Structure 1
Amino acid sequence: MNLAEGVQVVSFGVLAVMMIGSALGVVLFSNVVHSAFLLAGVFASISGMYLLLNADFVAAAQLLIYVGAVNVLILFAIMLVNKRQDFSPFPTAWVRKALTAVVSLGLFALLSTMVLATPWSRSTAIPVGDPIVVIGQHFFSDFLLPFEVASVLLLMAMVGAIILARREYLPEQAAPSDLPQTVLTLPERPRELISAGSDNE
């Protein structure tokens, strides 16, 4: 995305303010739902930063994966937990807050020193070729094995989640048996529920 220098500076300033403000809201707000929504603002601001760097594929992936998947998953988890009572404050909570502030200030000082000490080069060269095509070529040539292994792991996780969701209960005590049990098995869904549902119809 080729923009004028003034537009780039203004866009960077707006995105930076939006990112820092949303990040502070995520940490400082007591309502966890508001923090989750502000986390989506942080991810969207990072996507805008990628657009300013001419990384359109990374920006789209940032929106699709982090805003559209990870953040929505966090919101679903928060709403499914449905914790009604407020958190009871600990008497020594100020110690944790002080340690968190010290660590955060130390990281901020370290990153600021690194940014100021790094000789940044201002290059306005436009990348040759379509970056999406280049990423696709690398995915199916150099990084084919890690790409396929990651897809297999995600498939295994999805199948395991479906199998665990189908079990309605776990036995408190294992049934006595003379044979040695070598495999952990879970009982299937009770048949009474299925027969009761069919009788009502």
Structure 2
Amino acid sequence: MNLAEGVQIVSFGILAVMMLGAALGVVLLNQIVYSAFLLGGVFMSISGLYILLNADFVAAAQILIYVGAVNVLILFAIMLVNKKEEFKPVRNRWIRQGATALVCVGLLALLSTMVLATPWAVDTTTVNASSTIIQIGKHFFSDFLLPFELASVLLLMAMVGAIILARRDFIPERKATTTEVETALTLPERPRELSGS
């Protein structure tokens, strides 16, 4: 093992410990703001793992999109809502906790089986050290142009829906009078000066 492999193994160990610790903090902490900040730590650790895999574009996209947009949006939503809800004890809570634990153990068993059954040997003689951004750009605007545009339209629809849901609280509710109800179902009349000419 040379120096480069040793640095990669140590970096992988540090990033893995950071990611697992931050992920446990996201799940186990009671303060939701701390959980959101630790989620940013998870995203940054994942981008470090992408850098170790020579996926420079995916690492930059991970930081720009997830840390810079999604995590900041989650933090804004948490800080704007600031809703405090009292804890209410639930009857038969142990059934839910048992079902959750069973699902988690099943997922852990499936993922462990996949990790142990996958051949992880990599041929390092054909590693391309050049940047992958040009190839990704070519694929985005040739082979995957339609899914790329559909994803942008879907994100636009989600943003418009979020704005409508957020603005709904500011629209005052006004009771309609009987004349408004009657005139709402009729067509508006043409102005008098336009109808004579």
Shared fold (TM-score, shorter chain, > 0.5):
yes
State which of 159, 182, 192 in structure 2 corresponds to 1:177. 182
Q: Structure 1 CA distance, aligned partners of 2:30 and 2:156?
A: 36
Greater Rg, structure 1 or structure 2?
A: 2
Q: Structure 2 CA distance, aligned partners of 1:78 and 1:30?
A: 13
- 1:145-156 equivalence runs, <5 A: 145-156=146-157
Q: Structure 1 CA distance, aligned partners of 2:66 and 2:99?
A: 29
Specify the alignment match of 2:78 in structure 1: 78
The change in CA–CA distance for 1:26 and 1:163 in structure 2 (over 3 A counts) is: closer
* CA shift for structure 1 position 140: 0.7
SS in 2 for 1:152: helix
The change in CA–CA distance for 1:24 and 1:156 in structure 2 (over 3 A counts) is: closer
Specify the alignment match of 2:140 in structure 1: 139
* CA shift for structure 1 position 93: 2.5
Question: Looking at both structures, which has the greater relative contact order when contacts are Cα pairs under 8 Å and sequence separation is at least 6?
Answer: 2
Length-normalised TM-score, structure 2: 0.79
Q: Structure 2 CA distance, aligned partners of 1:173 and 1:91?
A: 41
The change in CA–CA distance for 1:179 and 1:82 in structure 2 (over 3 A counts) is: closer
Deviation sequence 1:64-87 (CA, Å, 0-9, x none): 111111111111111111123442
Deviation sequence 1:80-118 (CA, Å, 0-9, x none): 111234422323333222221221111111111111111
Specify the alignment match of 1:199 in structure 2: none
Q: Structure 1 CA distance, aligned partners of 2:95 and 2:165?
A: 40
The change in CA–CA distance for 1:21 and 1:162 in structure 2 (over 3 A counts) is: closer
Deviation sequence 1:127-154 (CA, Å, 0-9, x none): 2643100000001111112222222333
Q: Structure 2 CA distance, aligned partners of 1:85 and 1:157?
A: 27
* CA contact 2:56–2:131 (8 Å) conserved in 1: no
- 1:1-201 equivalence runs, <5 A: 4-124=4-124, 125-127=126-128, 129-159=130-160, 161=162, 168-169=170-171, 171=173, 175-177=180-182, 180=185
The change in CA–CA distance for 1:31 and 1:138 in structure 2 (over 3 A counts) is: same
The change in CA–CA distance for 1:133 and 1:75 in structure 2 (over 3 A counts) is: same
Q: Structure 2 CA distance, aligned partners of 1:165 and 1:83?
A: 15
Q: Work out the number of aligned pairs and report it.
A: 179
Give the aligned residue type for 1:120.
W
The change in CA–CA distance for 1:145 and 1:85 in structure 2 (over 3 A counts) is: closer
Give the aligned residue type for 1:105.
V
Coordinate RMSD, CA, aligned: 2.5
Question: Sequence identity, in percent?
Answer: 68
Q: Structure 2 CA distance, aligned partners of 1:38 and 1:127?
A: 34
Higher helix share: 2
